[in-house]
Structure 1
Amino acid sequence: MAAGVWSYWPVLSDLWDFWRHNADYSVGQLVPFVAVWMIWSYRHELRKLPVRTCWWGLLVLLISQALRLAGLYYMYGSVERYSIVLTIAGVVLLVWGYQVARQLVWVFLFLLLMIPLPGRVHNQVAVPLQSFASTSAVFCLETAGYLVARHGNVLELSDRTSVAVAEACSGLRMLTAFTVVAATLAFMVRRPAWQKAVIVLSSIPVAILANTLRLVATVLLHEWIGGEVANRFFHDFAGLTMMPVAVVILVIELRLLRWIGQPAP
């Protein structure tokens, strides 16, 4: 284990710096700690499982190191980062066996959430999100009776109110954070696999909705109070407020899924 940490130390150090300096993926630094808690919560089940060496784990390790070598050769850092999770899965499978590895599948999948999206994928996600944030904010404001002019990603509510929807306003930060929260919530509840999958996938529209509400509130504050207060609201208070709102929505969704899953009388 120590040899693996030493081997991956440059990758882990680079990943830590990325988390600290890129707000869209800052939630990634919490994922390993939550994963440790998940394993701890499985401790009673894991103690009952037989520990048998599974040599298929060696194959998984070879594949993970081949991916890492390809990432180094082609200077593609994301492949190196993803190989961390595959290496962990391979070690567990090799040392503790198939049944233990199977019990921890959700943890392995959860660890993937700590890896930032590759640059090309990031752009393919962030740019449409940014455009959708602008469009949805205009729709909500016009529905509320405001006349809004949109020029690209710039919203004009009046002659003195002009708000640029920057990439930081795209909602990608909320999307990554809400996905981690939804995956943790899905782990905590005892539900069928399909309901857990629905909870995780629903974090995407919930995050988009929350970001739209935050953007609408920011534009209105620009109009009513001024830019400085509105910007502080957007980057500080609104982000903190939307997280419990998202959790409430997910809990309501869990109740609906339980109601749907109940057999008819």
Structure 2
Amino acid sequence: MLLARARPQVSLFRSLTLADIVLLVGAAILAVPTMFQVGEFNWTTEQGGHGPIVLATGLWLLWREIKTSPAERKPGNLVIGILGLGILLSIYCLARITGILEIEALAMYGALIVGAYMLFGGAFIRSIWFPLIYLALALPPPDSVVAAVTQPIKIAISEWAVTLLYALGYPIASSGVTIQIAQYELLVAAACAGLNSIISLSAICLFYGYLRHRTNFAAFVMIALAVIPIAVFSNFIRVLILILITYYLGESAGQGFLHDFAGLTMFSAALLAVFVIDSIFTRLLHLRSAKAAQ
């Protein structure tokens, strides 16, 4: 009787050379100043408040995937690695000189991934693809992307809210993202336009979906696709609530504690909606599997 010999666990750092250690030290020198600035200027804002949570959970998930990855770990193509590092480090230096933190952070992160490719190869990088994508959500998006995403969402939410309330008899009108109701004028800012909740919800739900449905790609995609419409609809409800609070209780009430409370409430409701959709979808899959087995 032949017994299969267990494959020994290969340590990630077993075969590191002096050159590899120098590369890791260089990666730390590259990443620490940039991440310090990201924490200081982005994570302290409402738009980037989810960053520390994404970073902590992403590093945990990355380490978990690294330990369990069956992919072979061997150095990647040196020419591709040097070329990629050259391009990304050039972009990094230019962005750091000009003070464009968003481009600097993305170039830094790309350089770290290329460095990992040079150390451990493409097969290993592909095996840990999700933590790498997930960690990118901790970085600030470029301002041009923010403007391109938020502007149509802000305009659409403003128009929907005004149309509904006008049909209900409220004295309301809008011009772009500015809403006039009675004697009050409101501006639908980026915080009420869906971007913050889209990014935060996407991060949380992708993390949840990957852990829960790692082997079920259809369920994972369903959760990812449900995030954006739920976030936009929840922000539409939030804007409606804030307009009505301002109309009945005054501008100070609409911009004070009730503003933050409405945001927290709608975010919680949106997150709950994602979990409910996932539960229904999972139950339907189980019923379908049970019928197919009969």
Q: Which residue, 54, 63, 70 being the options, matches 2:75?
A: 54
1:154–1:70 CA distance, 2 compared to 1 (3 A): closer
Please say if 1:129 is aligned against 2:150: no
1:62–1:257 CA distance, 2 compared to 1 (3 A): farther
Please say if 1:139 is aligned against 2:160: no
1:97 shift after superposition: 4.6
Q: In structure 2, what residue type is equivalent to 1:52?
A: R
Please say if 1:69 is aligned against 2:82: no
Q: Distance in 2 between matches of 1:223 and 1:92?
A: 55
1:21 shift after superposition: 4.5
The question of whether the paired residues in 2 share the 8 Å contact of 1:130 and 1:153 is answered with yes
Q: 5 Å matches for 1:32-51?
A: 32-42=55-65, 45-46=68-69, 49=70
Percent of pairs identical after alignment? 20
Compute the TM-score of the two structures, normalised by the length of structure 1. Answer: 0.84
Q: Where in structure 2 are there 5+ consecutive unaligned residues? A: 1-23
Q: Distance in 1 between matches of 2:43 and 2:198?
A: 17
1:28 shift after superposition: 2.1
Compute the TM-score of the two structures, normalised by the length of structure 2. Answer: 0.76
1:231 shift after superposition: 1.4
Q: Distance in 2 between matches of 1:245 and 1:11?
A: 34
Q: Which has the larger radius of gyration?
A: 2
1:72–1:39 CA distance, 2 compared to 1 (3 A): closer
The question of whether the paired residues in 1 share the 8 Å contact of 2:154 and 2:193 is answered with yes
1:126 shift after superposition: 2.0
- Give the CA RMSD over aligned residues: 2.8
Higher helix proportion, which one? 1
1:67–1:151 CA distance, 2 compared to 1 (3 A): same
Q: In structure 2, what residue type is equivalent to 1:175?
A: I
Q: Distance in 2 between matches of 1:103 and 1:249?
A: 31
Q: Distance in 2 between matches of 1:119 and 1:152?
A: 20
The question of whether the paired residues in 2 share the 8 Å contact of 1:215 and 1:234 is answered with no
The question of whether the paired residues in 2 share the 8 Å contact of 1:134 and 1:155 is answered with yes
Q: Distance in 2 between matches of 1:145 and 1:184?
A: 43
1:205 shift after superposition: 1.4
1:188 paired residue number: 211
1:126–1:68 CA distance, 2 compared to 1 (3 A): farther
The question of whether the paired residues in 2 share the 8 Å contact of 1:71 and 1:77 is answered with no
1:220 shift after superposition: 0.9
Q: Where in structure 1 are there 5+ consecutive unaligned residues? A: none
1:43–1:69 CA distance, 2 compared to 1 (3 A): closer
